A and B are shown apart, each in its own frame.
Chain A
Amino acid sequence: MSQTSKNEVLLEARKLTRRFGGLVANQDIDVTLERGMIHVLLGPNGAGKSTCINMLSGDLPPSEGEIRYLGKDITRLSAAQRSQEGIGRSYQRTNIFPQFTVLENVRLAAQSRRQQPWRIFSKAMEQQWALEKARACIEEAGLGRRVDWLSGVLSHGEQRQLEIAMVLATDAQVLLLDEPLAGMGSEESASMVAVLKRLPQTRGILLVEHDMDAVFAVADRITVMVNGQLLECGPPAQIKASVAVQQAYLGTEDSFHV
């Protein structure tokens, strides 16, 4: 596909602003996500990272600003419409269907690409194309050994991997991942980092994350937010060296030492 060239701009947000009553949660945020890239959104608690990702995914309408996907204005599209365009997301809190198996969770995600609600007499578990895609995505997310498990009994880390598999099954070109490493042990974390590193070849990933080791292990580009505003944006080396970033972080509990 000619369109999948690297460095192509997938998602571009300009001057995103969101107000809750008098509170400005996000002010004039610019984000650019290119194909083949992992872009990390960094910032102390309450910096407005989740608000930002919610605006990009369509869960929260922006008060002002514009969001473009492959050049198309998607600012007014719903979350479901954006998913159909190619923007998928995972949530900070694990958000799976616990009573379904791993396979059924991902198959349901795959089914969303070819919805035929009128076929009420075909069997979901005989949808070969969806099953094949689901298996491939489960494999890609590193959950191959858990295909037939009930997803509710997976470990926390595995459930996060399952979420990634579900997003992949929707053919998403843009993956918005809200703290995929939250609450993970170091081993789980390492295997998730390995999964994340494999993903971006044909896609673009925007990641909200706190785990500094992981951030610098995977990030191609980092945007730092403080108090709902953009502080700095650049490659990891630039962020590490930035005085402004260090000051912002040293002033909070989330201080990190680089």
Chain B
Amino acid sequence: MNVNASLIVKLIAVAAIACVPISGESFYVELVAKMLLMAIFAMSLDLLVGFTGLVSFGHAAYFGIAAYSVALFTAKFGQMSLWVMLPAAILLSAAAALVIGIFVIRTKGIYFIMVTLAFAQMAYFVFHDTPLGGGSDGVYVDARPTAAIGSWVPFDLDNELHMFYFVLVMMLLVYLFLHRVLQSPFGRVLMGIKSNEHRMQSLGYFTFGYKLAAFTLAGALGGVAGFLYAVLFGFVTPELLSWHESGNVLLMVILGGMGNLAGAVLGAFAFEAMREFFADITKYWQLLMGGVIVALVLFLPGGLTAIPGRIKRALQGGGAK
């Protein structure tokens, strides 16, 4: 696909998503809103896995920290201003990612996977066990943040439509932001690190700093998704930080094809759709899902990253380019 065709497809997809509320079915509006915020989550992880080559198995921590911050701040201070709460949630997730990053970026390969998982589990325990988090039952968000600036109210997150379009706009902003970042000199260094970190070092790059920056940025954007989750569903539990969520978001990234932002969005939509509909149809859905994953890994020599290429070649019929 050339650049224009790809752009047109994306615009049509966005237009189609924007039309979902016309259906008038609250169920679908909420489901698609969830897909959109999961798309943000998946893109934030893709920055690490697909573009920097850091396989984090603990990304749910940053999602959960932002989500909990909404619940806990609202419980303590009453209804929050959106313009305070959103930056605060992002900052908290970024700060957590920065601190954890200082520890985990020192490790490589298998160690990195294990250590990210372990730190996410530690965050899980913070909300599960300590008085701070409200225990395993979770916490309700008593009131959605208000968008009011003084007496002017540009939109109202309690309104289902406003909420939906707010999530959609946030997803587009994150997409455009990451798209831009990846074209920057900074983004190129991340791709270089993924391709060959050792070579980047011998070219004079202090890769630790770049990786830490990417880890922090990914945490911050994961925080955006977590914030939206808490606002949309009005309820948070420690399970948001569990390693199953970390595994699921990793699956989304891989489903869509790593190192491809639009792919991460697609992966999130596909995963949530499967989770929603297969779980309805069959109680064996976990078995199906697990079987599919195992089969994918076993029967795709050259790895899962080869799938998009295969599909692309199949679609092009070997003719174009």
Contact = CB atoms under 8 A, between A and B. Distances in A.
Do chains A and B stick together as partners?
Answer: yes
Interface of A: 57-59, 78-80, 83-84, 88-89, 91, 95-100, 104, 108-109, 111-113, 115-125, 127, 130, 166, 170
Contacts of A109: 203
B196 A95 contact: yes
Given A57-B202, A95-B199, A121 B188 contact: no
B185 A122 contact: yes
Contact of A117 (B191, B199, B201, B209): B209
B184 A124 contact: yes
Given A117-B210, A117-B213, A120-B180, A97 B201 contact: no
A83 B183 CA distance: 25
A100 B196 CA distance: 12
Per DSSP, are chain B's interface residues mostly helix, strand or loop, or mixed?
helix
A89 B186 CA distance: 23
Contacts of A166: 203
B201 A108 contact: no
B187 interface: yes
Contact of B181 (A57, A78, A108, A120): A120
Contacts of B183: 123-125
Contacts of B206: 80
Contacts of A95: 196, 198-199
B49 to A, nearest CB: 16
A89 B203 CA distance: 8
A111 B188 contact: yes
Contact of A80 (B184, B185, B186, B207): B207
A232 B108 CA distance: 41
Interface string B170-211: 000000000011011111110110011011011111110110
B202 A83 contact: yes
Interface residues of B, number: 25
A113 B204 contact: yes
Contact of A119 (B184, B191, B198, B201): B184
Contact of A120 (B186, B196, B201): B186
A97 B199 contact: yes
A78 to B, nearest CB: 7
29 contacts: A59-B202, A80-B201, A80-B203, A80-B204, A83-B202, A95-B196, A97-B192, A98-B195, A100-B192, A108-B188, A108-B203, A111-B188, A111-B189, A116-B185, A117-B185, A117-B209, A118-B186, A119-B184, A120-B184, A120-B187, A121-B180, A123-B183, A123-B184, A124-B184, A124-B188, A125-B183, A127-B185, A170-B203, A170-B204
Contacts of B191: 97, 99-100
A104 B203 contact: no
Contacts of B180: 120-121
Contact of B187 (A79, A88, A124): A124
A78 B181 CA distance: 28
Contacts of A97: 191-192, 195-196, 199
A149 to B, nearest CB: 15
Contacts of A84: 204
A97 B197 CA distance: 10
B192 A121 contact: no
A108 B184 contact: no
Contacts of A124: 183-185, 187-188
Max count, chain A CB within 10 A of own CB: residue among B187, B199, B202:
B202
A122 B189 contact: no
Nearest to A116: B185
B202 A121 contact: no
A80 B205 contact: yes
A78 B201 contact: yes
Contacts of B198: 59, 95
Nearest to B206: A80
A112 B204 contact: yes
B213 A83 contact: no
Contacts of A96: 196, 199
Closest 8 CB pairs of A and B: A83-B204, A112-B204, A80-B201, A124-B188, A124-B185, A97-B195, A120-B181, A120-B184
B184 to A, nearest CB: 5
A117 B201 CA distance: 15
Contacts of B213: 117
Max count, chain A CB within 10 A of own CB: residue among B181, B185, B192:
B185
Contact of A83 (B181, B187, B203): B203
Max count, chain A CB within 10 A of own CB: residue among B180, B184, B204, B210:
B204
A256 B292 CA distance: 59
Contacts of A123: 183-184
Max count, chain B CB within 10 A of own CB: residue among A111, A122, A166:
A111
B184 A112 contact: no
A218 to B, nearest CB: 23
Contact of B186 (A59, A91, A117, A125): A117
